[in-house]
Amino acid sequence: MTTFYLSSDSIYDSSDVYAGEFYRSSNTPLSVGESYTQTRNITIPGTTIGSQYLIFVSDRSNYQGETDETNNTYAVPITITAPDLVITNATAPTAAILQEKIRVSFTVKNQGDVPTTVRSRYDEIFLSDDTTLDNSDTAVSSDNYWNYYYSSQTLAPGESYIQTRDITIPNVSLGNKYLLFVADRWNYQRETDETNNTYALPITLSAPDLIVTGLNAPSLATIQDSIEVSWTVKNQGNVSAPGNWYDYFYLSTDAIYNESDTYAGSFSRGSNTPLDASESYTQTQNLKIPKTVSGSQYLIVVTNRDRTKGKQTPPITFMLFPLP
């Protein structure tokens, strides 16, 4: 069996990169003075670039005992090249609102001297506090809820493709940010330069401010009874609220919402989106009282639960009548 390795020098050792192997097949026994020639295709590993040696190692595992086991290698110099993917241009709005859908596009180009060899590559978009991609950055998803954008195109030197996507701005901190467009995010394609795959665009993020301004409910209820509640939500911020949110109801022994309160139901904001600055909506729904509460309780409504503010009614007293 002949084994192939890529090496930075002409001497075979354990640091060399495996590149393939082929059995001697029918070329046995090999008589004194005889030889055989094999021609094979091998795939260059994607781990080395530049001036290397391709080392041929005959009978690497020493299956055949020999008078000299030290002369089984042959080294051939080889120069390994690779493409170089870069993002040459990107477009996006200069400002956006949390949960707003915006359209972006970016151009990926092979500025290397050889074609790409890996057909499956993934480009990604991130939100960052700076122009450098790191683990603190937030991936941005598109309509298909994927954070990445697949490309199967083989790019010849100088060729490029354009990706256009509608992305949703996630709930991150506000202020000045950067959209980072990253080509070949997972480095599936080996390149001459892996440090130039990111393109940064500045973007300023803002958010609305949703508050509950009114809540009406009966002051007396029976457990597992259905009561009518009415509440009003206002956007007191300076920008519209484009997101999809729910208003949540809880029962609490005090007037402060926390995670120990008893969940009583939730309702979608329905058609009340986007909610422009200073606008409000009022909803009226039937709410079923949980059977796990008793005595004097507060009914609390929390709009956009994970992000904003709530409101509570005066205490509701529950009559503990036996259920039919």
DSSP character for 142?
A: B
Cα(184)–Cα(149) distance, integer angstroms: 9
Q: Which of 297, 284, 285 minimizes the C-alpha distance to 223?
A: 297
C-alpha dihedral sign at 133, 136, 137, 143: positive
Q: Order of strands, edge to edge, in the sheet holding 226-235?
A: 210-216, 226-235, 280-288
Model confidence at 24: pLDDT above 80: no
Query: How far apart are alpha carbons 219 and 313 in whole angstroms?
Result: 9
- At the second CATH level, the architecture of 210-319 is Sandwich (2.60)
Rounded distance, CA 246 to CA 221, Å? 24
Tens digit of pLDDT for each residue in 306-318? 664 445 555 544 4
Residue 278 reports pLDDT greater than 60: yes
Higher pLDDT, 60 or 281: 281
Residues contacting 271, CB < 8 A, separation 6+: none
pLDDT beyond 90 at 195: yes
Cα angle vertex 27, ends 54, 34, to 5°?
85
**Residue 310 has what pLDDT?**
47
Give the model's pLDDT for residue 123.
92
- Poorest-pLDDT segment among 110-124, 177-191, 292-306: 292-306
State the pTM of this model: 0.76
Residue 321: pLDDT band by 50, 70, 90 thresholds?
A: very low
- The fold for domain 85-206 equals Immunoglobulin-like (2.60.40)
For Cα atoms 179, 183, 187, give the angle at the middle one, nearest 5 degrees: 130
Q: Mean pLDDT for the chain? A: 86
Structure tokens at 280: 């409000």
Percentage, residues of the chain above pLDDT 70: 90
One fold for both 85-206 and 210-319? Answer: yes
**pLDDT at residue 139, rounded to an integer:** 93
> Which whole number is the average pLDDT over 201-215?
93
What's the mean pLDDT in 266-284?
A: 88
Q: Is the pLDDT of residue 206 over 90?
A: yes
Task: Give me the pLDDT at residue 291, please.
Answer: 87
Residue 251 has pLDDT above 60, yes or no: yes
Residue ranges per domain, the chain?
2-80, 85-206, 210-319
pLDDT above 50 (res 324):
no
Q: What is the mean pLDDT of residues 93-101?
A: 94
Reported as a single tens digit per residue, the pLDDT across 37-92 is 788 888 888 777 889 999 988 877 777 777 777 788 889 999 888 999 999 999 99
| Predicted confidence band of residue 320 (pLDDT cuts 50, 70, 90) | very low
Mean pLDDT, residues 98-115 taken together: 94
Mean pLDDT (whole number) for 251-269: 89
Q: What is the pLDDT of residue 322?
A: 32
More confident residue, 68 or 159: 159
Q: What is the pLDDT of residue 137?
A: 97
3-state secondary structure of 2: strand
Q: What is the mean pLDDT of residues 171-197?
A: 93
Distance CA 149, CA 142 (A): 9
Residue-level pLDDT at 145: 45
What average pLDDT score do residues 171-189 get?
94
Q: Which residues contact 269 (CB under 8 A, 6 or more apart)?
A: 233, 244, 245, 246, 247, 275, 281
Higher pLDDT, residue 121 or 155:
155
Helix (H) or strand (E) holding 128: strand 121-128
